[in-house]
Amino acid sequence: MKTGIVDTLAAAAAALVLSVSALPAHAVEAPVAAAATPAALEQMNFTGVVGDVHGLTEKAAAFARNVMPTINGDQIRAMLGNFVGDPSLEGMKPGAGAALLLPPRGGMVLFLEVLPDKIDAYEKVFKGPAMNVEKTEGMLMISERTVKLPDAKALASTVKKSLLGTARKADLDIDIRLARLLTEYDAKITSGVEMMTEAMNQAEPEVTGQDPKAVARLLKAEALIGVKLGKRVEHLRVNIAPSADALDLTYNISGPTLKPVGSPATTATAITAARMLPMTGAIRMSGDINMKAMYADAATWVPELITGMGGTPAQAEATRKMTQDWSKFAGRLVAADYLTPDTSPTASSILVEVTDEAAAMAFLESMPELIKATGWMELTVPGMTLEEFSFTKNVRTVADTPIHKLVMKYDSTNKDQQQMINAMYGPDGMTMEIAIVNNMIIYTMGDAKIADLIAAVKAGKAPASKPLEAEKLGEGAMALMDINVADIMKVVFQMVSPALDAKDRGAVESIFKGMKAAPPITGAVYREAEGYRIHWQIPGKLVSSLVESAQSAMMQQPGVAPTKDAPAIPDADNN
């Protein structure tokens, strides 16, 4: 089934890549002689390419100067050069590249473009009993002896032409055959998950803050479902591009079941719902998402997740039914304006499009019983129970629109967790006001004014709506998000400040005040022919502002002296 499960798969893919790459060396199977490594790049499990190593070090240094103003490209090259016995990387002229390949069943092959008069020195560094080193196609090819290369020259030629090519990008490009990699190492991953589960089972409750066995069940279930979803991703392509202004991270996920359905997205459509909200919160998002397909797909794997977390067959079936029922009237447009600073800590507004108002209303009325039947809260947050979950219809009327109320009161065995819940929602729990207008469910929490949202939805726009910074990432997005770190810190400060003494309160407050003008992290999701592209941008000004504010806060602490210079970094002449 073709689906639009972007968020789930993007998160699962990123987490799984990290988990697989972190496997210890002894967990990698050595290839048998019969399984020779093919020359074709498409049969590699992983390729990582830098078209211009010098250029990338300069760009990395430009971004790093947001943290350490004195750092330069020579210092970055020194860090890399020490690994190859060439601290200044003189053997790799500007424009020279590198490529790393991981063949099936373990091992690695590294290609370095090295100047002819330096290649012998590089060869001596890498040569050893465990490594094969060859000079071919103007490159040094280093491979583990367990890797069998039937035609090294042909592979080198393919790498030079197809990976390094003529466009010398000063970026890092990675291509991971995720489904194949997860299938190949399935037994190792399962064994690793079991080891993690066993270690968690032995932990003390004081360490986890919750029942260790419940936490272990939760983590195991999430990991195994993550692997299952990750196997849908044929390719996970990642581009990492630093600059003085920002760090850009782009993920392309593709696979037979991930091909988008429907017409191409437009940013104008994706921000339709956002224009009905003030969009002044710490976290802002808007999208045109195939929620019908997303929920229908989730109904196929959520029961397995519930069972894995220790849920009963009845709870798994209740979860499947609830997810499937929502898919029947789910629309496409969604927007959220979370955590507005300088108001109540939870002040938030959410809009969700539905295709059938009556069905949506019936679902909301039945939600308390549905949630109770799933056991969702107790299973997903060990030690947490829902003391109260109620939905009251028609508590009042605003502009001829009925207003409904949803109350969720939590109780946790974890003292710190309970304090945070009380700080966020107050002793009476989380309260939402809900209305349905023009096929749009309106949810509000805290100080958010539902009357204003009703008027905005009826008019199709709010009197004042702040544009998303993510709109600047480019046309064609199906979903956009802004994450304002300074505002998040400010909201958290509102919640924890009563527990801080005056000195700590002043130090924490100085951090988000110093970051007031810092731009947000922005993200956007785009439909591609074979899947989805996810683009995150971390502004350099945000990083520098965070560092400066943290240093300012530290200087307010007793015994901490101001520091003018960044820590020394080895350079080409002093390493």
Closest CA relative to residue 246, chosen from 59, 381, 396, 513: 59
* Entry pTM: 0.82
Phi first, then psi, for residue 331 (nearest 5°) are -95, -150
Question: If you search the block for the tokens 């037994």, which residue do you land on?
Answer: 187
Per-residue three-class SS string for 408-462 = EEEEECCHHHHHHHHHHHCCCCEEEEEEEECCEEEEEECCCCHHHHHHHHHHCCC
> What was the pLDDT predicted at 144?
86
> What was the pLDDT predicted at 3?
36
Closest CA relative to residue 267, chosen from 288, 283, 248: 288
Closest CA relative to residue 1, chosen from 290, 382, 410: 290
Alpha-carbon distance of 333 to 110, in angstroms, equals 46
CB 253 within 8 A of CB 531: yes
Give 378's contacts (C-beta < 8 A, 6+ positions apart): 384, 385, 386
Alpha-carbon distance of 505 to 515, in angstroms, equals 16
> What was the pLDDT predicted at 261?
65
pLDDT per residue, tens digit, the chain (575 aa), is: 333 333 333 333 333 333 323 322 222 223 323 333 344 688 889 999 999 999 999 999 899 888 888 888 888 888 888 888 888 888 888 899 999 999 887 888 999 999 999 999 999 888 888 888 999 888 999 988 777 766 778 888 888 888 887 678 899 999 999 999 999 988 898 888 888 888 877 766 655 556 777 778 878 888 888 899 999 999 999 999 999 999 999 999 998 888 776 666 788 899 999 999 999 999 999 999 989 988 999 999 999 988 988 889 999 999 999 999 999 999 999 999 998 877 776 788 999 999 999 999 999 999 999 988 998 777 777 667 777 889 999 999 999 999 999 998 877 766 766 676 676 677 777 888 999 999 999 999 888 899 999 999 999 999 989 999 999 998 899 999 999 988 888 887 777 776 667 777 777 677 767 677 789 999 999 998 888 999 999 999 898 888 877 776 666 555 444 444 444 434 434 44
- H helix intervals, 40-118: 53-64, 73-81
Alpha-carbon distance of 26 to 45, in angstroms, equals 18
What the block records as the tokens of 343 is 């108001």
- The dihedral built from the CA positions of residue 300, 303, 304 and 305, taken in this order, carries a sign that is positive
Alpha-carbon distance of 302 to 309, in angstroms, equals 11
CB 39 within 8 A of CB 151: yes
For 128, which DSSP code? Answer: B
Helix (H) or strand (E) holding 85: none
Alpha-carbon distance of 491 to 192, in angstroms, equals 38
Q: How many CB atoms lie within 10 A of CB 533?
A: 20
